[in-house]
Structure 1
Amino acid sequence: MRVRAYLESKKNLAGSACGVAGLGLSLAGVAGSYWPVVVAGLYGAGALIAPPDVPVKPDPPDLSEELGVLREDFARLREYLDEVELPPAAGGKLSELLELYGALLDPGWVADVLAGDAESVHVLSRAIRQDLPDCVDAYNRARWWNRLTPGTESPERHLERQLSVLYDEAERLTAALRDADTRRQQTHTTYLEDRGRS
Structure 2
Amino acid sequence: MAISEYLGSRKHIAGSVCGLLGLALTFAGLAGAYWPVVVAGLYGAGALVAPPQRPAVPRFPTPTEQLEEVRADLGRLGDYLLAVELPSGAAERLDDLMVLLAALLDSDRGAELLARDPERLHALSRAVRQDVPEAVDAYVRTRWWTRLAPGQEPPENHLERQLSALHKELTGLAADLRESEARRQESHTRYLEERGGGTG
What count of residue pairs does the alignment treat as equivalent? 198
How far has the Cα of 1:62 moved from its partner?
Answer: 5.7
Q: Does residue 7 of the first structure (1) align with residue 44 of the second (2)?
A: no
* Percent pairwise identity: 56
Q: Deviations over 1:53-109 (max 9, x none)?
A: 334445553655655554454344334434433345433432321121121233423
Alignment-mate amino acid for residue 14 of structure 2: A
Aligned to 1:163: 163
Aligned to 1:111: 111
Aligned to 1:21: 21
Go from structure 1 to structure 2 and tell me whether the alpha carbon gap of 1:185 and 1:9 turns closer, same or farther (over 3 Å shift).
farther
Q: Does residue 174 of the first structure (1) align with residue 174 of the second (2)?
A: yes
- Which range is displaced more, 96-105 or 61-70? 61-70
SS of equivalent to 1:109: coil
Q: Deviations over 1:104-127 (max 9, x none)?
A: 233423334334445544432342
CA distance in 2, matches of 1:73, 1:90: 21
Aligned to 2:34: 34
CA distance in 2, matches of 1:50, 1:105: 49
How far has the Cα of 1:45 moved from its partner?
Answer: 2.0
The TM-score, its normalising length taken from structure 2, stands at: 0.74
Go from structure 1 to structure 2 and tell me whether the alpha carbon gap of 1:134 and 1:194 turns closer, same or farther (over 3 Å shift).
same
Aligned to 2:44: 44
Go from structure 1 to structure 2 and tell me whether the alpha carbon gap of 1:57 and 1:160 turns closer, same or farther (over 3 Å shift).
same
Alignment-mate amino acid for residue 108 of structure 2: G
CA distance in 1, matches of 2:48, 2:180: 49
After TM superposition, which residue ranges in structure 1, 4 or more long, deviate above 6 angstroms? none
CA distance in 2, matches of 1:83, 1:17: 67
CA distance in 1, matches of 2:16, 2:6: 12
The TM-score, its normalising length taken from structure 1, stands at: 0.74
Alignment-mate amino acid for residue 28 of structure 2: A
